[in-house]
Amino acid sequence: MSALQSYLSGKWQTGQGDGHTLIDPSTDEKLGTAGAQGIDRAAAMTHARDVGGPALRALSFAERGALLKELSGVIHAEREALIEIGITNAGNTRGDAKFDIDGATGTLMAYAHFAKGLPDTAHIPDGDGLQLGRSPRFHGQHIWVARQGVAVHVNAFNFPAWGMAEKMACALLAGLPVLEKPGTPTAMMAERIAHLIVDSGVLPEGAFNFLCGEAGDLLDHLGPQDCLAFTGSSGTARKLRILPAFIERGARINVEADSLNASVLGPDVEPGSDTFDLFVRDAAREITQKTGQKCTATRRIMAPAETAPALAEALAEALQAIKVGDVHDSNHRMGPVTNGDQLTSVQEGIGTLAGASKIVTGGAERLGDRGCFVAPTLLLAEDAHADVFHADEVFGPVSSVLPYDGSVDEAAALVQRGLGSLVTSVYSDDRSFPVDLALQLAPWSGRLYLSGKRIADHGTGPGIVLPSMVHGGPGRAGGGEELGGLRGLQFYMQRTAIQGFKSTIEAAFGKPAAE
């Protein structure tokens, strides 16, 4: 077995001790270890801040965008090798591995494109200038400038490529060096990408830093100009928010956490209709893609009471057609969950949900005598308002059908019981139902996906995160926000109000004249 490495303070380093063992979740084979014990994290932060930061900020936005384009190409060139790592270490099907890798390269390319619209200055004007007094002479202008710290990214295990790239693209374009810490169970993909980035020489030294293993005392070294973007459990997020770095030193924190995403079938949709079939296809994909280990996966399915049994039957049939097994065999369309701990968590979650519902298909039983396999599981609630469906997220191929009375108000009340979601989807061909429901759900949802027959051949499905649209959500989902085009840069920048003589302010800080 090989020991994965970290790239910190300008050199590759291997941690001391045994580290965490990484496995192939299809076969239980031990693949390697990841650990960072004994590595000086304070020195790594100083190196990133003092070496990487100035080098990045010396470049224009256009030049940083060109670097992102190069990085996308570097990663894409190793796509096949990275797919194999995703299959072996993450238990991905080939399609799921491509989904992760192509999401990473696509996001880097998108931000390379966004950079073309930015000015050739060290700042970005925020809106138009303002007259501040009786005379036009006293003038004000808001601007965005890069912070002078480090962007620390603590990423989740489910998207080792895409999760890292989407944070990295925004921070590097804004002008902050990054320190990436991948989710340890699937770190082989992230470590290979880290080697590609460093070996390519595309980025200035210190702009990219990589910690493979435990975080240790890393966050103790965050200062007032530093940022942390965290993706993971709400329990861990609660512990992070009260660290001195954030409550005493003013470092920034952005959280993407648990999300009981909902999908609502409108009362106008009849079984057998095109929109009904579209709903079934999309729901089945959201339950099984990445073995349900997606932050945007659908956990709660709301259907009118008279339609719910037919929907559960149709969706169960679609799930039963999916072949589950060792992803080294390309005939299998869903693989294992990430490791034994994750399998136990999913099994316990199914057991809890089953106490208030009927299992329509699947169940908590482990499939096979090796690996971390569980069947796609669909439950039909006895009482859609029972707390169990709106409490903890089961992070696996599991969803529950919750019957409602067909009204906007009850659908909204059920969705809101989740206390905040990354994405909520509504399927309806009615003109008013999805709009009325969307207005009630917008305060509780980071993104709303309104679907029906009119976009059946054009929509992405609710689970796709697009770099041009915001990703994040209120409440339980973490209260954070990423991506959203150039909005994604603002977490890594400072908005400052500049006041003074109009001609001086406009010449130095105003919007460039249109060509």
Which residues, other chains included, contact 129 with Cβ-Cβ below 8 Å and sequence gap of 6+? 139, 140, 141, 502, 505, 506, 510, 511
Which residues, other chains included, contact 366 with Cβ-Cβ below 8 Å and sequence gap of 6+? 343, 347, 372, 373, 374
What's the CA gap between 46 and 171, in Å, rounded?
A: 17
Q: What stretches of 339-416 adopt beta strand conformation (E)? A: 357-361, 366-367, 373-374, 377-381, 398-404
What's the CA gap between 227 and 420, in Å, rounded?
A: 23
How is residue 324 annotated by DSSP? B
Give the pair of three-digit tokens for residue 78.
């190793």
Give the rounded distance of the alpha carbon of 316 from its chain centre: 28
What's the CA gap between 99 and 91, in Å, rounded?
A: 13
DSSP assignments along 437-478, one per residue = HHHHHGGGEEEEEEESGGGTTT---TTPPPTTSEEEESGGG-
Rounded to whole angstroms, the maximal C-alpha distance in the chain is 80
Q: Which of 281, 59, 82, 339 is nearest to 172 (CA)?
A: 59
Does 295 qualify as catalytic in the annotation?
yes
Q: 222 forms bridges with which residues in the sheet?
A: none
Q: Where do the H-state alpha helices sit in 118-186? A: 162-174
What's the CA gap between 427 and 471, in Å, rounded?
A: 20
Radius of gyration over every alpha carbon of the chain, rounded to an integer in angstroms: 24
SS3 316: helix
Q: Which of 356, 273, 357 is nearest to 307 (CA)?
A: 273
What's the CA gap between 259 and 262, in Å, rounded?
A: 9
Does 256 qualify as catalytic in the annotation?
yes
How is residue 37 annotated by DSSP? B
- Sheet hosting strand 30-34, strand order edge to edge: 2-3, 30-34, 20-23
Catalytic residue among 212, 295, 372, 482, which? Answer: 295
Catalytic residue among 256, 286, 481, 482, which? Answer: 256
* Amino acid letter, residue 332: H
What's the CA gap between 453 and 32, in Å, rounded?
A: 48
SS3 181: strand
Active site residues: 256, 295
